[in-house]
Amino acid sequence: MKTKSAFMNLHYLITRDQNFVFTIVSYIAILLIFINMSLTTSPAIGIFASAIYLLINATYLGHAFFEKENTFVGFMLGVLLLIVILGLVAWAVMILYNLNNVGSVIVLFITSSFASFLNRKVKSKNVSL
C-alpha cells in the first residue's frame, strides 16, 4: 500500500482545478494583497496571501512546463519560472503604465491568469491523448 504525502495530495488538487476553484482562490489572494498594500500593511496578511499565491501559481507552472519531473522538482522550477514571469510582466507594466499598487495587482492578475490558462491547456492536452 502506497501512502501519499499532503504535498502530493495538494499538488493533485491544484493541478486538476475543478471548476477554477484554485484560480478563484488565487484571485482572492491577489485581492488580499491589494487590500494589504493599500490599507493595512500587515506583514502577516502579506506573507499569508503571498504564500497562497505562490503555492497555487508555482504548482500551475510546474505542472504545465515540467510535468515529467518529480513533483517537488517541478514545483521548485515552477517557483523560479513564476519569479521570472512576474519580473517580465512587471517590467512591461512599468514601461507602459506605472508600477504602483494598482500596477502590482495588474502584474499578479496577468501572471495568475497566464498560469491558470497554461494549466488548463496541459490538462486538456493530456485528456485528449
Alpha-carbon span 47 to 111, nearest angstrom: 18
Each residue's pLDDT, cut to its tens digit, for the chain (129 residues) gives 466 788 888 888 888 877 889 999 999 999 999 999 999 889 999 999 999 999 999 999 999 999 888 989 999 999 999 999 999 999 998 898 888 899 999 999 999 999 999 988 887 666 554
Q: Can you state the angle between helices 43-65 and 101-128, rounded to 10 degrees? A: 30
Q: What secondary structure does DSSP assign to 88-104, as a single string?
A: HHHHHHHHHS--SHHHH
Alpha-carbon span 37 to 46, nearest angstrom: 8
CB 116 within 8 A of CB 30: no
CB 109 within 8 A of CB 30: yes
Q: Among candidates 101, 52, 55, 90, which has minimal Cα distance to 75? A: 55
CB 12 within 8 A of CB 25: no
Domain locations in the chain as residue ranges:
6-128
pTM higher than 0.85 for the full model?
yes
Q: Write the burial class of residue 6 (CB in 10 Å: 0-12 exposed, 13-18 middle, 19+ buried).
A: exposed
